[in-house]
């Protein structure tokens, strides 16, 4: 009796385990990165006193040292585009896996060293410079983290699930920020102010070491899988995606590497593009990407990172109250990201992200007025900041997949990483500086609302230009 093998079309799909490993490895390093950023933002007033305030001065740091802390915060963000270019080119040429191993190792080292730094009372004026140097190293590594991880996760996503897979990257941002805020809040609750200022502030930074080593192991265990060829990663309608003629691929001019039909050698990554006429088109696409996520960047940092220092310095809240409010905002953010990514796989990226941008634009000022009103119950304020975080999640959930769909495989790491890094450098890294300086200069406590709402309003036209069927098309 002849034994018939399965028909090619009936062959079983690849096991789910590799997909889960890709999700874990891609998201783990991002969690370490944003955990540290959350800790730094939540402990900004503590770091201002320890590193940027002259030793004889007693009491909480004033606006000057706090601005210096946010300047150090901004340095890391402005080095992220350089990191995106450096590590993005590496990721497009030598592969996602080795590049992601390198960036998580650098981030872990820099964060751990911050926890070991001498303060200004011990090292004098060298202390703030050492802190700023380590922030710069973090910025370089963070610039390469997003592009490589999002490219890896979206390229390995099953058909019709790019939004879901990409949303995991944003979810780890939320979980990292939430873990950072929760750690800082826990320390502020269980330690006396003297213990927190003396040694307790070091604990959150030192915890990055075991987290980073875990992420490093997950990434080292990843197989070397080549990125998909243009048209080889189908969406829910693969027949439509493959039937499109080659000239219909909008990003064809961007990829100047091997021809779309040429398969890379087994187990090797496709090499990225050489300098060519596609550079100008790539730059235009990067700028369009910046326009689409600038609201996400500005609102995210305003509500999720800058909030504790704003509540404490402007509204007179205690450190504990400010940290609890930030934890609630991050909780709302985390809760909405995956549903937003999944919804964008069904209805498209455009309606979900437009909804988030319009929600922040219209509700940012009423939210801030609610927080400023002493007659409003604490529970209502908590629900309001949780809702603000959820609105940002509508942008962050579909955002990674949206960026991945804008660039072809040969420049995907570089392009989406650079767009994300530039948006964060300008609209996130400057958030603390702009909000603190304008609040002090104008005396208006509404500055954070105007900043977040203004950036989201400017994102609306760029988001409206998204094609409605991008989520159904194959990655290029």
DSSP character string of 349-371:
HHHHHHHHHHHHHHHHHHHHHHH
pLDDT at 344: 93
Report in angstroms the alpha-carbon separations of 164 from 65, 156, 169, 202, 287: 41, 12, 9, 35, 25
Q: What is the pLDDT of residue 290?
A: 92
Q: Does domain 17-223+279-468 have CATH number 3.50.50.60?
A: no
> What pLDDT sits at residue 103?
86
Cβ atoms within 10 Å of 274's Cβ, excluding its own: 11
CA atoms within 13 A on the CB side of 150: 39
Among 173, 176, 171, which residue's Cα sits nearest to residue 208?
176
Beta bridge mates, 475: 233
> What's CA 228's distance to the chain center, in Å?
24
pLDDT at 381: 82
Q: Which segments in the chain show pLDDT lower than 70?
A: 1-19, 54-74, 223-277, 308, 313
pTM of the predicted model over 0.75: no
Q: How high is the pLDDT of residue 374? A: 81
Please name which of 111, 122, 126 lies closest in space to residue 40, comparing C-alpha atoms. 111
Enumerate the β-bridge partners of residue 233. 475
Rounded Cα distance between 288 and 403, Å, is: 10
Q: Kindly list the domain boundaries of the chain, sorted by start residue.
A: 17-223+279-468
pLDDT at residue 340 in the model: 95
- Can you tell me whether residue 475 is helix, strand or coil? strand
Predicted local confidence at residue 74, as pLDDT: 67
pLDDT at residue 248 in the model: 38
Q: What pLDDT sits at residue 73?
A: 64
Residue with tokens 């992200």: 353
């Amino acid at each position: 009796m002849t034994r018939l093998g399965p028909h090619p079309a009936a062959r079983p799909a690849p096991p789910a385990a590799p997909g889960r490993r890709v999700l874990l490895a891609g998201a783990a390093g991002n969690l370490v990165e944003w955990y540290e950023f959350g800790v730094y933002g939540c402990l900004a007033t503590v770091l201002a006193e320890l590193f940027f305030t002259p030793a004889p001065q007693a009491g909480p740091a004033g606006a000057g040292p706090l601005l210096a802390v946010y300047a150090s915060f901004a340095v890391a963000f402005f080095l992220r585009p350089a990191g995106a270019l450096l590590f993005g080119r590496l990721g497009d040429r030598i592969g996602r896996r080795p590049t992601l191993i390198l960036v998580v190792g650098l981030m872990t080292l820099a964060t751990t060293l911050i926890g070991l730094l001498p303060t200004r009372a011990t090292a004098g004026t060298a202390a703030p410079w050492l802190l700023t140097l380590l922030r710069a190293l973090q910025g370089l590594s963070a610039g390469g983290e997003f592009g490589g991880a999002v490219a890896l996760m979206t390229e390995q996503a099953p058909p019709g699930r790019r939004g879901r897979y990409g949303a995991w990257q944003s979810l780890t941002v939320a979980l990292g920020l939430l873990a950072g805020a929760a750690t800082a809040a826990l320390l502020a609750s269980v330690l006396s102010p003297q213990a927190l200022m003396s040694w307790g502030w070091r604990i959150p930074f030192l915890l990055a070491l075991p987290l980073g080593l875990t992420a490093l192991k997950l990434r080292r265990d990843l197989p070397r899988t080549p990125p998909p060829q243009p048209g080889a990663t189908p969406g829910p309608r693969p027949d439509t995606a493959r039937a499109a003629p080659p000239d219909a691929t909008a990003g064809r001019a961007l990829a100047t590497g091997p021809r779309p039909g040429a398969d890379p050698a087994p187990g090797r990554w496709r090499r990225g593009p050489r300098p060519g006429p596609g550079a100008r088109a790539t730059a235009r696409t990067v700028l369009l990407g910046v326009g689409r996520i600038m609201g996400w960047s500005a609102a995210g940092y305003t509500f999720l990172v800058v909030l504790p220092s704003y509540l404490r310095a402007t509204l007179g809240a205690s450190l504990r109250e400010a940290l609890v409010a930030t934890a609630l905002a991050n909780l709302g953010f985390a809760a909405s990201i995956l549903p937003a990514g999944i919804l964008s796989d069904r209805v498209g990226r455009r309606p979900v992200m437009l909804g988030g941008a319009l929600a922040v634009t219209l509700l940012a000022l009423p939210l801030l007025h609610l927080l400023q009103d002493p007659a409003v119950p604490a529970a209502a304020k908590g629900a309001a900041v949780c809702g603000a975080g959820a609105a940002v999640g509508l942008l962050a959930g579909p955002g990674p997949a949206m960026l991945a769909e804008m660039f072809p495989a040969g420049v995907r790491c570089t392009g989406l990483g650079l767009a994300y890094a530039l948006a964060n450098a300008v609209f996130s890294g400057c958030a603390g500086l702009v909000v603190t300086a304008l609040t002090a200069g104008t005396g208006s406590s509404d500055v954070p609302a105007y900043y977040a709402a203004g950036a989201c309003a400017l994102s609306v036209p760029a988001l409206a230009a998204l094609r409605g069927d991008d989520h159904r098309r194959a990655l290029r």
